[in-house]
Every structure is written in C-alpha cells, then in structure tokens.
Amino acid sequence: MVAAGTRWALLFFIIIPLLSFMVGSEKIIIRGASKVTEFIHGDGDGDGKRWAVLVAGSRGYDNYRHQADVCHAYQILKKGGLKDENIVVFMYDDIAFDVNNPRPGILINKPNGNDVYNGVPKDYTGDNCTVDNLFAVILGNKTALTGGSGKVVDSAPNDHIFIYYSDHGSAGVVGMPFGDDLYANDLIDVLKKKHHSKTYKSMVIYVEACESGSMFEGLLPSNLSIYAVTASNAVENSWGTYCPGHYPYPPPDYDTCLGDLFSISWMEDSDLHDLRKETLKKQYQVVRRRTAVDNFDRSHVMQYGDKKLSQNPVFVYMGTNPDNQNFTLTPQYYTSSSFSWSVVNQRDASLLHFWLKYHKAPRGSTEKAEAGKKLRDIISHTRHVDRSINQITKILFGDKKASQILTLIRPSSQPLVDDWSCLKMLVKAYEKRCGQLSWYGKKYTRAIANMCNAGVRVEQMIEASTQACMLYG
Ligand SMILES: *[C@@H]1O[C@H](CO)[C@@H](O)[C@H](O)[C@H]1NC(C)=O
Ligand SMILES: *[C@@H]1O[C@H](CO)[C@@H](O)[C@H](O)[C@H]1NC(C)=O
Ligand SMILES: *[C@@H]1O[C@H](CO)[C@@H](O)[C@H](O)[C@H]1NC(C)=O
Ligand SMILES: *[C@@H]1O[C@H](CO)[C@@H](O)[C@H](O)[C@H]1NC(C)=O
C-alpha cells in the first residue's frame, strides 16, 4: 500500500509540470470593428432540394464536443426546414449514454444550452461509421454501403448539398470513429466523381479539425461548384471551447469540452439569423473574426474552391428557422466590444479530460488509479512518438537535414504530398513497427509527407522504423 501511495505521489509530481506545459490555457481576444454591409436578399434557388451530410469523426467521452457539434448542426437544419430523409448523420453515438455523462440521454453544445441529441437520426453509428460508407453516401451509391440506415445523398442536378465534419485532423487527413482515416486526396476524388455525375448544383463543405486547410489547399479546384470553409489553415490547430476551467465555463459536472470554436461560431450565428438575409460570405467573415486572432498560433478560418458561391444566402444550404424572421442585426453584433474566451487545443482536450478525472477522483479509489494510468499512458505515448519520429528522420536523412524534413511547409499553392499512396504506406509502415500514431502522433503526417516528397521508399521507412522502435512493445 505504501509503495502504491508513493507511486501516485511521484506521478503527481511528474504530471503537474507536464500538464502545465501541454495544456496551455489559451486566451482569445476578439476585437475590432467591421462595417455592417448590405445583405443580399434572396430566396436561393427555388427548385432544388437541400441535402446534408453531418460527420463526427471521433469517439470517446473525452471527445464529447464533436458529436455535440454534429447534433447541434442537425437541429439547425431541422429547424431550417430540411427533412430527415435528406440529412445523413455519421456519429459513433457513444456519448449520450456514456457513464461519464452527467445528463444521460442529453447532449449540450454550450453552457446552459438545450439538448441537441433529441431526434438526431442514427444513420451510421458505431462500426458502421466508416470512411467507405461516407463516400458511398456522398456519391449516392447504395450498393457500396456496409451496414447503416441505407440513407444516401440521392441528389438531382438542381440540388444543393451541405457537408459538415468535426473531429481531429492533421496534415492531409481527418479521422473517422471506426476503421481507416479520411485522406484529402480520396475526398477530392469523391467530390470530382460526384461532380462528374451531375447530381448537384452546388455544394458547401465546413470542416472543423486541426490543419483542416490541408484537406483542400492546392487540391480543391474552383470549377466543381464546391465552396469549402475550414476551421484553420493548413498548418495550425483548431480549438475546443466551453472547456472545464476555461471561460465560458461548462456546468461544473462536465469534465469535457462541449464544443469547438469554429463550429459553435457558425452554428450560433445560424441559430440566430434569418439565413435568407445572410450570405455564406458574411457567415465566413463573422466566423473568421470570432475564431481568428492576432497571435500567430491561432486558427484562421479559410475558404477554398468556388468562392463565387459565397454570394449565395446560407439559406440555400441550411434553410432558415421561421422564428428568426424578425431578428434584426444590430450594428453592435459586428462591432461588439472585445470578448475574451479561453480555448483548448484539440490535441490537448483529451489530456484535460483525463487530468480532471484524476484530479476529482477520491484518493485511493479505483477511478483515480484508472485515470492516473490513462494519463501516464498518454504522456508516455507522446514521448514515444516524438522520440521515434525524430530518430527515424535522423536515420533517413542524417542529423543536419532531419530538422528540415520535420519542419518544412510547402507553399500554399501546392498540396501536402505528391504521392498520396506513399504517405499512406509510410504511415502504415511506421505503425506496424512503432505502434499507432493516434491523434497526437498524426501531427507528424506533414513530416512523413516531406519524407515522401524527398523520395523515401516504403522499404526504407520499414527499416528505419524497425531500427528506431526495436525496443518498442
Ligand atoms: C457503386 O459501388 C459499387 C461497389 O463498390 C461499384 O461496383 C459501382 O460501380 C458503384 N456505382 C457507381 C455508379 O459508381
Ligand atoms: C450497422 O448497420 C446494421 C445494418 O443496418 C445494423 O444492423 C447494426 O446494428 C449497425 N451497427 C451499429 C453498431 O450501429
Ligand atoms: C477544371 O479545371 C481543370 C484545370 O483547368 C481541368 O483540368 C478540369 O478538366 C476542369 N474540370 C471540370 C469538371 O471542368
Ligand atoms: C415578423 O413580423 C411580422 C410583421 O410584424 C409578423 O407578421 C410576423 O408574425 C413576425 N414573425 C415572427 C416569427 O415573429
């Protein structure tokens, strides 16, 4: 017993400095005035149907916020007048009834927020929530589905499609809760196929993830009638918000972040306004202002693809809540004085969750032991990944060139990598020898892409990984 106690005390002293280093409380100051501009009044296109695909790419209670975001998006579309048959939802669906959820069966997306879980269709949940099903749904190809509700985007030439995704991401890749990740080039291929099938008039894609700009940068052509908005540019983090201990605070019984900054920014904007009177461009500006800040390390909302589409009212894609008809935009909405939020890096949000669990659990309890173990595992994992990737890069390029490979960022007109199958194979080769990268380790996908661009072959990666991770596992 004494030994166990000493171990926990030791752990405590190891963790505190690490946490203060890793879980930085991030303060955002948003200020500055922007003119209220004239809105383009319009009904959008009368003929076409509206379709939506909503995707939460994560699972686990520490990632509560992504599914809460997606459920909230569903409520906006539903109030906007879209029918369930036209909204396809991908979520693992393990949050609402997780033992940690203080309000079983209820999800909220902001402090004092209403339930957003009620009524959300369970189209692709659990192990059916895969990238292959997502692509089949977008393409409207029922025969390519495995499991799930069978609902697909069965769209016609005049229809409009809205895709919203929220999760962890990294250079060129975003997660799915089950099976393979979603790589940027595969998504672009699917979008090109969809365009080729002439089954939509225009499409809007909103993506919340770290380095989400890299999903489209140098990749999404402007001639596919697709307009994409991302939470961050290609090289920066995106941010969780309404996190414990970070203003605005979630209710005290929540040990997890309730939302993500880019996501709640567009959704809280859509919640309020008559979306007939707000263009996508205006929403982009509002969201960019709320999300971006002057510090170099913050997230800059980006737009890609066919920017002409941003002249369309948001209504064309989301409909509008009739209750918002008389909501008038006061100039104060856009010029409002500074409001100060603190947010948590997507990659640190899980650490914060497990830290709180550890911290709150009674001394000597099994929960404390479990949460402590989880924290210790996360921290040793991050060390292992950092060390092994550094080692591999040195083996492949020598000490001098290694740091260049680890940090090089291509110009924004260029995609991350020329040979995407190389990137996938090198990631697999690493994982085979050194264990899963996980969302912490995926921060190295850009470095691995640089290895591909420098001509590293899969056999070399296998050899270097074997050497670097010889003692692993
Ligand atoms: C639909 O998917 C199936 C199975 O993957 C494939 O064989 C077929 O060609 C696809 N159909 C279309 C129209 O793309
Ligand atoms: C996956 O889809 C199948 C077919 O619709 C369904 O029977 C099954 O329950 C689904 N699995 C999960 C985990 O939701
Ligand atoms: C879009 O533009 C590119 C480059 O100009 C061209 O190669 C491609 O065929 C065009 N695609 C469509 C669908 O028009
Ligand atoms: C908006 O105002 C008009 C005119 O005053 C009124 O007829 C309508 O009921 C109001 N709509 C809502 C949703 O309050």
Across 127-279, the runs of DSSP E, i.e. the strands, are 160-166, 169-170, 173-174, 182-183, 202-208, 226-230, 239-241, 259-260
Q: Are residues 321 and 368 in the same domain?
A: no
CA distance 80 to 315: 8
Can you tell me which atom of ligand 3 is nearest the CA of 196?
13
Q: Looking at the 3D structure of the chain, how many domains does it have?
A: 2
Q: Is the pTM of this model over 0.85?
A: yes
Residue 432 lies in a domain: yes
Q: Are strands 239-241 and 182-183 parallel, antiparallel or unpaired?
A: unpaired
| Choice among 12-26, 97-111, 248-262, 373-387 with the minimum mean pLDDT | 12-26
Q: What is the DSSP letter of 313?
A: B
Residue nearest ligand 3's atom 9 by CA: 223
Which pLDDT score, from 0 to 100, does residue 17 have? Answer: 38
The SS3 assignment for 99 reads coil
Q: Are residues 328 and 367 in the same domain?
A: no
Cβ-Cβ contacts under 8 Å for 196 (sequence gap 6 or more) = none
Residue nearest ligand 4's atom 4 by CA: 326
Q: Are residues 307 and 392 in the same domain?
A: no
Q: Out of 290, 319, 334, pick the residue that ends a domain.
A: 334
Which pLDDT score, from 0 to 100, does residue 1 have? Answer: 36
Residue 342 lies in a domain: no
CA distance 99 to 94: 10
Q: Which residues line ligand 1 (CB under 6 A)?
A: 141, 143-144
Please identify which residue in the block is written with the tokens 């589905």: 145
Residue 33 lies in a domain: no
CA distance 319 to 312: 12
Can you state the angle between helices 366-407 and 346-360, rounded to 10 degrees?
Answer: 160
Q: Are residues 391 and 451 in the same domain?
A: yes
Q: Out of 281, 299, 334, pick the residue that ends a domain.
A: 334
pLDDT in tens, 417-462: 999 999 999 999 999 999 999 888 999 999 999 999 999 999 999 9
Phi, psi of 228 (to 5 degrees): -120, 140
| Residues forming a β-bridge with 305 | 227
CA distance 83 to 154: 13
Q: Are residues 175 and 284 in the same domain?
A: yes
Neighbours of 89 (CB within 10 A): 25
- Catalytic: which of 66, 168, 273, 353? 168
Please report, for the domain that includes residue 193, its CATH number.
3.40.50.1460
Residue 344 lies in a domain: no
Residue 297 has pLDDT above 60, yes or no: no
Q: Are residues 97 and 242 in the same domain?
A: yes
Residue 339 lies in a domain: no
Q: Which residue range forms the structural domain that includes residue 326?
A: 50-334
Q: Are strands 202-208 and 239-241 parallel, antiparallel or unpaired?
A: unpaired
H or E stretch at 341: strand 339-345
Per-residue burial over 392-416, b if 16 or more Cβ lie within 10 Å, else e, is bbbbbbeeeebeebbeeebeeeebb
- Between the CA of 166 and the centroid of ligand 1 the distance, in Å, is 27
Q: Are residues 369 and 284 in the same domain?
A: no
Which pLDDT score, from 0 to 100, does residue 329 have? Answer: 63
Cβ of residue 297 lying under 6 Å from some atom of ligand 4 = no
Which residue type, as a one-letter code, is found at position 73? A
Q: Out of 317, 334, 351, pick the residue that ends a domain.
A: 334
Nearest C-alpha neighbor of 28 from the set 288, 209, 332:
288
Residue 19 has pLDDT above 70, yes or no: no
CA distance 112 to 133: 34
pLDDT band at 344 (very low <50, low <70, confident <90, very high): confident
pLDDT band at 350 (very low <50, low <70, confident <90, very high): confident
Residue 270 lies in a domain: yes
Cβ-Cβ contacts under 8 Å for 10 (sequence gap 6 or more) = none
CA distance 395 to 179: 30
Which pLDDT score, from 0 to 100, does residue 338 have? Answer: 42
H or E stretch at 55: strand 50-56
Residue 38 lies in a domain: no
Nearest C-alpha neighbor of 171 from the set 394, 426, 433, 458:
426
Please identify which residue in the block is written with the tokens 């539903």: 78
Residue 309 has pLDDT above 70, yes or no: yes
Which pLDDT score, from 0 to 100, does residue 46 have? Answer: 53
The SS3 assignment for 269 reads helix
The reply to whether 72 belongs to the active site is no
Q: Are residues 236 and 135 in the same domain?
A: yes
Mutate to test the pocket of ligand 3, among 223, 226, 306, 413 (most ligand atoms within 8 A of CB): 223
Residue 10 lies in a domain: no
The reply to whether 168 belongs to the active site is yes
Tell me the average pLDDT across 78-84: 98
CA distance 172 to 330: 39
Q: Are residues 106 and 227 in the same domain?
A: yes
Please report, for the domain that includes residue 461, its CATH number.
1.10.132.130
CA distance 399 to 444: 18
CA distance 225 to 203: 6
Q: Are residues 426 and 378 in the same domain?
A: yes
Handedness of CA 240, 94, 131, 417 (dihedral sign): positive
Cβ-Cβ contacts under 8 Å for 362 (sequence gap 6 or more) = 368
Q: Are residues 148 and 275 in the same domain?
A: yes
Can you tell me which atom of ligand 3 is nearest the CA of 192?
13
Which residue type, as a one-letter code, is found at position 287? V
Q: Read off the tokens for 203.
A: 């499409």
Q: Peptide bond preceding 248: is omega within 30 degrees of 0, i.e. cis?
A: yes
Report whether 397 contacts 434 (CB < 8 A). Answer: no
Q: Are residues 163 and 202 in the same domain?
A: yes
Which pLDDT score, from 0 to 100, does residue 10 have? Answer: 38
More confident position, 340 or 38: 340
